[in-house]
Amino acid sequence: MVRVLSQVLLVIALVVAVSLSPALAQDRDPEAIVQAMVDHLLAEDFEAAGADFSPEMQQALPPDTLQATWEGLAEQVGSFQEIVGAPQVTQVNGNTLVVIAMQFEAALLDMQAAVSADGQITGLYFQPSAAAPPDAGDPKAIPDDLPDYIDLQAFEEREAVLNEGTDWELPGTLTVPADKGPFPAVVLVHGSGPNDRDETIGPNKPFRDLAWGLASQGIAVLRYDKRSHVHGRAMVELPQMTVDDEVIEDAVAAVRLLRREGEVDPDRVFVVGHSLGGYLAPRIAAEADGVAGVVILAGNARPLHDLIVMQTEYLLGLDGELSEQDREQIGQVEQVKEAIDNLNAAAPGAFFGAPAAYWVDLRGYDPIKVARSLDVPLLILQGERDYQVTMEDFARWQEGLSGQDDVTFISYARLNHLLMSGEGPGSPQEYEQPGYVATVIVGDIADWILDN
């Protein structure tokens, strides 16, 4: 196995989503049940850790498989350090979801455990935490080695607020060229996970790079903290959550905010989506008023749950072989994928960390079909070393949009999923090395926007 540090939705450990038991009286506190499981995991007593698992969980995660999963997690994100804050306990579909933030050496993860009304643990999942990581550093710090495409004298920044006055307020940053406007402008839409406005991953901040680089060339940029970053705990309480809640409503609000800004040309506001944001960019453009064009950066064309299986197989095979434990984990992921294929929106439980409604909504979304219906130009960019969204997705975009007017495709031999340069097969370790979005990406986006 390898260490996983990614803002793209990845399986970090096992999800088991099963039918939850009907309401029964119980004397044991769900939080105490989950805390006992965690204590046993930390003591490496895997038989005791699974004592409160439901029969389905015990079948899927017997002690040896649970041990392999826990040890594999440590290989991916380093050794366990500490529990951060108090557990968060919410009721979802009549059952209890206990979320514990766990600091590992290389990542802060939320462990989510579902407990049925009769006191059985029916689901277990680890994902990047919605809580702000400790010691994140100064987000406004300016590096000493900025790339040549950034001219700090060419723009200024000010704070912006999305959804002001609502329960979903989001802080953001508007980067505006120093020259006199009105300027073309872009909204940056994040990939999966609780991203901040810079889409920070390790030491890298690709959205800050894009904002400063594009503003240096006369394009205003709005970037903002994602709803799951700011309101992650509240979102856990949305049993019918979909990408509308996670991404689309806020991206549409960002377009609306930009079009009202005095320095911005309201007829030249573009959506630039990365990864999941690229996948959803056609839908955002279809729902927002006045979008002038769409840029898709490493956006998948395949269904998201298919992508998770592909990513899992790739990561587990990076060492050149698949062990018996690796194959078991892939099989478990495939089981969840198959369950998603047959879900109805009211199904209980979590699947890859999201409720059934999330996946049912995405099952009905065809990004290529929606892109074909748009009457705006599209720019689709893809790194050829990207292992998270691959050239297969790029080929699907090309095939599905062939014959469409005003669609531009560009791929880059040396770039990874963060649109940064490297060599050899892509791997998560790359994301731990400091870098910047490639100059050619900023230049190609700027040229395309200024021409439209």
Active site amino acids: 275, 386, 417
Q: Are strands 407-412 and 378-383 parallel, antiparallel or unpaired?
A: parallel
In 306-424 the beta strands, taken as DSSP E runs, fall at 350-351, 354-355, 378-383, 407-412
CA 288 to chain centre: 21
Q: Are strands 108-115 and 95-104 parallel, antiparallel or unpaired?
A: antiparallel
Which token pair is 202? 């390790």
- Are 78 and 105 in contact, with CB atoms under 8 Å apart? yes
- Are 14 and 50 in contact, with CB atoms under 8 Å apart? no
DSSP 429: G
CA 193 to chain centre: 3
What is residue 385's three-state secondary structure?
Answer: coil
- Whose structure tokens read 């400790």? 134
DSSP 224: E
Exposure b/e, 318-329, CB count within 10 A at least 16 = b: eeeeeeebbebb
- Distance (Å, rounded) from C-alpha 251 to C-alpha 392? 27
Which token pair is 277? 């944001």
Taking residue 152's Cβ as centre, other Cβ atoms within 10 Å add up to: 11
- Are 381 and 448 in contact, with CB atoms under 8 Å apart? no
CA 220 to chain centre: 24
- Whose structure tokens read 């992508």? 307
Beta-carbon contacts of residue 232 (< 8 Å; ≥ 6 apart): 110, 129, 130, 131, 194
Written as one letter, the residue type at 45 is: D
- Are 300 and 324 in contact, with CB atoms under 8 Å apart? no
User: Omega of the bond prior to 63 within 30 degrees of 0, cis?
Assistant: no
- φ and ψ at 73, to 5 degrees? -60, -45
The maximal CA–CA distance of the chain, rounded, in angstroms, is 68
Taking residue 350's Cβ as centre, other Cβ atoms within 10 Å add up to: 25
- Whose structure tokens read 């014959």? 403
Closest Cα to residue 280, out of 220, 341, 358? 358
